[in-house]
Amino acid sequence: MTGEDVKRRLAAIFSADVRDYSRLMRDDETATIRALNTYRALLTTLVQQHHGRVVDSPGDNLLAEFASVVDAVQTATAVQKELKARNAELPKNRKMEFRIGINLGDIVVEGDRIYGDGVNIAARLEGLADPGGICISRTAYDQIEDKLPLAYEYLGEKTVKNIPKPIRAYRVLIEPEGLVKKWRRKRSAEHPRKVVDRDESIIERHGSKKDISEKISLRNSTKKKLIALILCLCFGVFGFHRFYAGKTKSAKVQLFTVGGLGIWFLIDLVFIIFGEFADGQGRKIRKWI
């Protein structure tokens, strides 16, 4: 690669691989290859639906790039939710669980290939992720901290192979809101001082708890949750609930992809039920009527 051939750009890099792939192949090569091909096709579809590009898929790995970290993380959560549902129907020793790492970094582009530390860090984050989980870098976290209905756990600075500096990593918590709250209560019991410090810090930045509640209420949408739920249940494959919420652009995409091949609108349905579905201005639709 000559100096003139080198092109660089900033991208969100998505790296995924299968946990215990060697064991799965050893136990049943045919079934593993069949399942891997099915799951890889699903990942590819979800990447494309979220405006990403699959760069390579050697062995049990899949590498993709996105222009947006939000799109990359939404893809990852959609993947893990869909695979969790599929794995629930399989025996424990035949479950195929992916680990996903996401990084925002500079990449080197040569034709359809991408290289560089940005890619390497995503691969290392993948190795830090739990089976069925997602791990992201600090650069990625800074882009999505308040943009998605998710929670995050800071894992600290991690020293990884072939990366000179430790990387700051975050675990993405993709369970429904109730389970996230349960996890937070457990963390609060284990680290009460940290929780107090956090609450004091919030009050210091935003005012009293009453002030915070008032600000939160202003962030809630005037759209009605019941209407959004009915539209999603009856006409979700046509994106009617997104038209109602003022998300016209994504609604049109959903209309022409039949609800994201039946996956996207189901994810929306879960978000609506748990009060995490937002309108076109980013405000949560939480009032039933």
Mean pLDDT of the chain: 83
Which burial class, exposed, middle or buried, applies to 134 when counting CB atoms under 10 A from its CB (0-12, 13-18, 19+)?
A: buried
43 pLDDT more than 90: yes
* Together in a domain, 91 and 132: yes
pLDDT of residue 181: 53
Q: What is the torsion angle, in degrees rounded to the nearest 10, for the CA atoms of residue 184, residue 193, residue 205 and residue 213?
A: 50
* Together in a domain, 135 and 271: no
Residue ending a domain, choose from 119, 153, 174: 174
Q: Which two tokens stand for residue 57?
A: 């898929």
* Together in a domain, 69 and 91: yes
Reported confidence tier of residue 269, pLDDT bands at 50, 70, 90? confident
167 pLDDT more than 70: yes
pLDDT of residue 14: 98
Residue percentage of the chain with pLDDT more than 90 = 48
Q: 114 and 11 in contact (C-beta within 8 Å)? A: yes
Reported confidence tier of residue 183, pLDDT bands at 50, 70, 90? low
List the domain range (segments joined by +) for residue 151.
7-174
